[in-house]
Structures are given as structure tokens and as C-alpha cells.
Amino acid sequence: MEDISYGGVLENIRSEWMRGQMVGLVGPNGTGKSTLLRLLAGVNRPTLGRIYILGQLNSKISPKDRAKQVAYLPQQMPENASFTVEQYVEMGRFPYRTLFGGLDKEGREAVHRAMAVLNLLPFRNARLDQISGGERQRAGVARCLAQGSPIILLDEPIANLDVHYQLDILLYLQGLAQEGHLIVIAIHHLELAARYCDRLLLLQSGRVYAEGPPQEVLSECALEEVFQVKAKTYADPFGGHLRVSYSP
């Protein structure tokens, strides 16, 4: 990202991420995390600056070609929830479909694998409006995985999920990053962000407040300035990852 701005919501965002990283976008509500993801996904175009995806200027890539490189799951749930879980996950294969074509063998395998990983096979024939919010969220993540793109952008992927699936999904995403994907997630849970992400981008009022390894970004000073909370940070005695204890 080269100095990108977007209509007063984001200003002068500059950063470079590599495949193999899991990046967390953190910051208070309304600081532009979702807007930044939308710009990266090509949903909106920056008013200033440029975004490059794997070396190509984002605005010059066709929607289908971009989708082969970048999978994006917005925060909003599907408006039409009458599709089955399997049909929804199959939609991730849209960029690979031919003019009238169905799914090829590779597509069917990708869909099956994505549903298996997120434990959705028992619900494959259930409609999206017949499953819980958490299951719908997992179906959305599965749709992204089925897309098979090296870059995955997820807006609040663990909202609505119980702790089991929160950890499960973050662990799986971390595994994908280690396999060479670039994972970018907007996330509110700071401890989980610190535990699973390699880098954090902390936003404050549309600007980058800090970026780097979680231990550096989530300093007590930053938490107080950006979130206006008093907090102590310390290393978890068992895992060594960052823990945050908020003062009343």
C-alpha cells in the first residue's frame, strides 16, 4: 500500500505485507479497519495512493483475476440466506467457472476440503437461515478457503463464534499463513490477535498508530492512547504470548 487515503476515513496508509504472514488489523470501532479491507479487496478504490497485489496494481486487475488472488469475506451476513451451506461454499469457486460451467473435480475437492476443515459437512444441505450465526460465520470462512486464493481478507471472522471455533479458525488461518498464504483479519480480540498474528496494524482515527510484532504494537501506552483504557500487558506464564489485563 502506497500512501492510500479514502474519503476522510483513512489517511496515508503505507505498508507492505508478504505471503507467509498473518496480519491483524486492530483498533477501536470506526477507525477504518473494514474500509481498509474493502480497499484491499477492490470493493472500493482509494481516493489517493496505490495498492499492489502480488506486484500488480489492484485497480488494473479484473474482478475474476483478483478473486483468484484475493478472497474476501465481509462482515455482513448474506442477504439471501436461502442457499444451502454447500451451495454457499461452492460460490467461492466462481472465478474458475466457465461460461455455462459447473464445478470441475478440483473445485469439488476444494469445496469438500473447506467444509471438512470447518466441520460443516453435517450441515452441508441445511439452508443458511436454518443454522446458527456461528455456523454461518464458519460457512463464510469455508467459502473463502474454497476460493483457493493466496491472499485471504477476513472482516471479523471470529465474531459470533464460541471460544472453541475462535481458536480453531485462528489456528487454521495461522497454518495457512505458514504454508505461504497472506492472511489479513480485522479483529477486536487483542489477546487472540497478539497470539495468532505475526504482525498487527493498529489504527487510530484512520491513521496508522503503530505497526509491527504484537508485543511492540500493543504497548500499555498504545492501549491507553488508542483505546482510552488503562491496561497492564504481560507474558502468559504457559505460552509466553501477550496477555492484557484491563484496570477498572
Partner 1 sequence: MSNRRIRWTFVTLGIALFIGAALELSLGPVTIPVPQLIPDAWSYFQGVHDTNNVVIGAIRLPRLSVAALVGAGLATTGTALQAVFRNPMADPSIIGVSSGASLGAVLTIQLGLSQLNEWSTPAAAFLSGLIVVFVIYRIATVQGKTSIYALLLSGVAFTALCSSIVTLILSLAPLETMQQMLFWLMGGLNGSTWHEVLMLLVFVTVAVGIYLTQAHALDVLSLGEEQAQGVGVPLQQTKQIVLVTSAFVVGACVSSTGVIGFVGLVVPHLLRIWIGPSNRRLIVASAIGGAVLMLFADLIARMILLPAELNVGIITSLLGAPFFLFLLRRQESSVYRG
Residues that bind partner 1 (CB under 8 A): 38, 41-43, 62-68, 71-74, 76-83, 87-88, 91-92, 94-95, 97, 99-100, 129, 143-144, 147
CA nearest 73: which of 1, 169, 8? Answer: 169
- Beta carbon nearer to partner 1, 18 or 81: 81
Across the strands, what pairs with 195?
none
212, 200 contact by CB (below 8 A): yes
Alpha carbons 83 and 212: distance in angstroms, whole number? 40
- Beta carbon nearer to partner 1, 29 or 76: 76
244, 235 contact by CB (below 8 A): no
Smallest separation (angstroms) from partner 1 to the CB of 140: 8
- Beta carbon nearer to partner 1, 21 or 69: 69
Smallest separation (angstroms) from partner 1 to the CB of 52: 18
- Beta carbon nearer to partner 1, 94 or 209: 94
- Beta carbon nearer to partner 1, 68 or 124: 68
Q: Nine-digit cell at 227?
A: 483505546
161, 138 contact by CB (below 8 A): yes
- The residue whose grid cell reads 479484473 is 62
Smallest separation (angstroms) from partner 1 to the CB of 69: 10
209, 27 contact by CB (below 8 A): yes
Q: State how far the alpha carbon of 93 is from the alpha carbons of 71, 86, 90, 153, 172, in Å.
A: 10, 12, 6, 16, 20
